[in-house]
Structure 1
Amino acid sequence: MTIQKLAGKQRESVHLATARGNLWEGSVRSSKTVSSIVRWLRYVRQGPLGPLLMVGKTERTLKRNIIDPITEMVGTSRCRYRTGAGELDLFGRMIYTAGANDERAAEKIKGLTLAGAYADEVTTYPESFWSMLMTRLSVEGAQWFGTTNPEGRNHWLKRDYLDRAALHLTRNGQILRTSGDETLDLHRFSFQLDDNPYLPDDYVEALKREHVGLFYKRYILGEWVAAEGAIYDMWDDDKHVVDTLPPIVRWPGIGVDYGTTNPFSGLLLGVGADRRLYLASEYRYDSRAKRRAMTDAEYATALRTWVRGAAPLAGLHPEWTVIDPSAASFITQLFREQWPGVTQAANDVLPGIRTVGTLLGNDQLRVHASCRGWIDEVSGYSWDPKATAKGLDQPLKQDDHSMDAGRYGIYTTEALWRPHIPTLLEVAA
């Protein structure tokens, strides 16, 4: 791994990272991580003696995001990660490693006395874990170093820590110093994509196209903004709704959101010869309107009839049927009937929303006019204001059944359709 010489804000942030807490935050690929790693390596060699800790959302992401780059930078003779043991040998110092993806994570570090810590993806941690970590840094001269992408304005990290930082290296390069009863011994370094001078122009343009709406503001501009209003604010009926489909070259799958008292929705996903994705057909059953709930067996029969009768299928079965992971009984029913290609949906909500939003924003996803559930729901699909007030990003659970079905089908089958869709570098060109 070739590490370019630190420049500009990168170098300045390393020089200024002298507080008890030091956090690099802002855009993706803005050089936050490499700057923080350089400072952490110096601390490992020169900091006070005592146990050290490195944390990620999970140990797997910590290894991928931080430990692997460190290993490439310094070599395997000076950096050895003992998989499964939760230990890293770096420059001869033993460092504990841990994941912090749920409320139980605080138990992993209870009782430790630490001389230093490195934290990756801090906004993904439970607040209880972070509070425990701060109490463990009790060796004289202990420091912590961390990185994160922005979240909502009400996130606990921004509200209780970043807004109280004693020093702030701002996005425009100014150094702001604060003082007072609410000030923390914390130095905050805010980065934008353009702060990384080594990224190719076409790659930067592709990244900007990859993120739209809320995610553009956070991950490109580096802003802490709330998830408010419409989720797919780029939706345009005139552009995205089509009356006819192009020739379909592949049918990656069907996304299914299961409902008994709530609507049941199935959406058929196709890849067009024009290198776009199409939601080509929809099966929807609303037991509230019909005043009759259907059994799993009845839903399986109805779904099979719909698949066989969907005009664009031309007798071909979709490669996968992607089911709402909470619908265990319906999945069992389809397995019992030897339905081909049944799988649970990948239900990572925010990455799935980001994928769908990017496709819409770049006009790479269109919807056939027959998909009335999707079309009726998309404009009103919104962020939950109560969750936003708590610093959380969650869709409002209301009139979202076709939205979920479409997201399941698109996000879960991405490996199948991605080779057929222009890359964002091609779009940028």
Structure 2
Amino acid sequence: MAVTPLVGKQRESLRLATARWNIWEGAVRSSKTVCSILNWLRYVRTGPSGNLLMVGKTERTLKRNVIDPIQEMVGKRRCRYREGAGELDLFGRTIYTVGANNELASDKIKGLTLSGAYCDEVTTYPQSFFSMLGTRLSTDGAQGFGTTNPEGPNHWFKKDYLDRASLHLTRDGRIVESADPGALDLHRFTFQLADNPTLSASYVDALKREYVGLFYRRFVLGEWVLAQGAIYDMWDPDRHVVDILPRIDRWIGLGVDYGTVNPFAGLVLGLGADGRLYLTNEWRYDSKAARRSLTDHEYSERLRGWLARIPHPGAPSVLGVHPEWTVVDPSAASFVAQLYRDGLSPTLADNSVLDGIRLISSLLAAGLLLVHRSCAGWIEEVGGYSWDDKAAAKGEDRPIKDADHSLDAGRYVLKTTEALWRPHLLEAAA
């Protein structure tokens, strides 16, 4: 992995990374991770002796985001990761590796005395873990280094740590030192996409098209902004709802949001001959309205019968579709088992809610996702789908969980099958 010479804010951040905590935050692909890694490599070689720790949301994301790039930089002889053992050998030093994706993660570092720590995606950790980690950095001269993308302005990490930094290298490149006597020994380096001069203009343009609204401000401009109002504010029925489908070249998948008390929803995703994605058909069952609950067997029978009756666009006499994937609500274990018994091969959905919302937002903004008028539940729900203001006040990004069953089914199938359809989207708009 070739690392180009650092320039501007990149070099300045390495020069200023002298505090107890040093945090690179801001836009995606803005070079904050590379800068933090280079500083960590220097610290591993020259920092005080003692235990070192590297942390990610999970060990898998830590490996993908940080360890793999380090191995490309220095070679596997100087950087050997013992997967499963939770240890990394780097420049002859043993470094512990842990994931911090829930409140129990604090137990993984109790009793440790650390001389250094590297934290990837800090805002994804429980606050209790990061607080505990601070108490573990107790060796003389110990330092911590971390990266994060922006979240909401009320997030605990921004309010309790970043906003109390003793030094801030701002988005516009100014160095601001705090006059607050209670400021933390923390240096904050804020990056935006423009701070990485190695990116091609075409790649930057593609990223700017991919992120819209809230996500544009966070992941391109590097701003900490509140998630509020309509989630899909780019939704326009006149633009996104179609009455006639093109030829469907691939029936990508069936997304299922399972419900017994709440409505059950199934949506079919197709790849059109025009290089766009279409939610083509929808089946819903509301047990409250029907005044009758269905068993898993009955749901499976009705769902499969509905698929067998779907007409093909342009050839209404041809009935029945066979989606390549059947993607099911990950909490619906009993229904998944029923589908297996009935000869289908369901897969549990990728339920990364914010990632799924980002994906759908970018597709709608680019005109790459259209919805047939028959998908009445999805069309009815999308306009009112909103961020939860109470959650935002606590620093969390969370949709209001109401009237979202068809939306969830669509999100499941779109996010889980992304690798399948992404290469075939309309090139001009991708």
SS of the residue aligned with 2:429? Answer: helix
Corresponding residue for residue 144 of structure 1? 144
Name the residue aligned to 1:377: 381
Match of 1:399 among 378, 400, 403: 403
Please say if residues 339 and 345 of structure 2, whose CA atoms lie closer than 8 Å, have aligned partners that are also in contact.
Answer: no
> C-alpha offsets along residues 1-47 of structure 1, whole Å, 9 cap, x if unaligned?
11100001000000011111100000000000111111111111221
1:326 is matched with 331
**In 2, are the aligned partners of 1:280 and 1:312 still within 8 Å (CA)?**
no
Report % sequence identity.
68
Alignment correspondent of 1:308: 308
1:427 matched to 2:429? The reply is: yes
Contact 2:33 2:147 in 1 (8 A): yes
Query: Is 1:52–1:96's contact at 8 Å kept on the other side of the alignment?
Result: yes
CA distance, structure 2, for counterparts of residue 38 and residue 300 of structure 1: 54
Residues 393-421 of structure 1 show CA distances to partners (whole Å, capped at 9, x for unaligned) of: 11111000010011111111222222221
4-13 or 312-321, which deviates more: 312-321
Q: After TM superposition, list the pairs within 5 Å mapping 1:194-209 onto structure 2.
A: 194-209=194-209
Paired residue type of 1:60: R
Aligned-partner Cα distance in 1 for 2:381–2:158:
33
Query: Which residue of 410, 415, 420 maps to 2:419?
Result: 415
Cα distance in 2 for partners of 1:267, 1:108 equals: 42
Structure 1 unpaired stretches of 5+: none
1:170 maps to what in 2? 170
Q: Distance in 2 between matches of 1:250 and 1:158?
A: 45
Tell me the secondary structure at the aligned position of residue 24 of structure 1.
Answer: strand
TM-superposed deviation, 1:422: 3.1
Question: Counterpart in 1 of 2:155?
Answer: 155
How far has the Cα of 1:341 moved from its partner? 3.2
User: What is the SS of the residue equivalent to 2:312?
Assistant: helix
Structure 1 residue 305, shift from structure 2 partner? 2.2
* Equivalent residue letter for 1:329: S
Structure 2: distance between partners of 1:71 and 1:296: 48
Residue 350 of structure 1 and its aligned partner are, at CA, apart by: 1.3
Paired residue type of 2:13: S
- 1:353 corresponds in structure 2 to 357
SS of residue paired to 2:37: helix
Unaligned runs of 5+ in 2: none
Would the aligned equivalents of 2:274 and 2:426 in 1 still touch at CA under 8 Å?
A: no
Deviation per residue, 1:223-254 (Å, 9 max, x gap): 11121111111100000000000111010111
Counterpart position of 1:8? 8
Partner Cα separation in structure 2 for residue 333 and residue 74 of structure 1: 50
Q: Is the 8 A contact 1:345 1:412 kept in 2?
A: yes
1:24 aligns with 24
> Which letter does structure 2 place at the counterpart of 1:357?
S
Report the aligned-residue RMSD. Answer: 1.3
Q: How do 1:265-344 residues align onto structure 2 when only pairs under 5 Å count?
A: 265-312=265-312, 314=318, 315-338=320-343, 340-344=344-348
SS in 1 for 2:347: strand
Q: Secondary structure at the match of 2:114?
A: coil
Cα shift at 1:182: 3.1
Instruction: Give, in whole Å, the separation in 1 of the partners of 2:384 and 2:135.
Output: 44
TM-score, normalising length: structure 2: 0.96
Structure 1 stretches of at least 4 aligned residues deviating more than 6 Å after TM superposition? none
User: What does the per-residue CA deviation read over 1:186-213, in whole Å, with 9 as the maximum and x for residues that have no partner?
Assistant: 0000000000011000001001111122
**Structure 1 length as normaliser, TM-score?**
0.96
Partner amino acid, structure 1, of 2:239? K
- Which residue of structure 1 aligns with residue 61 of structure 2? 61
* Aligned partner letter, 2:302: A
Residues 310 and 321 in structure 2, CA contact (< 8 A), matched pair in contact too: no
Q: 1:215 matched to which residue of 2?
A: 215
Deviation at 1:427, TM superposition (A): 2.6
Secondary structure of 1:331's counterpart equals helix
The one-letter code matched in structure 1 to 2:336 is I
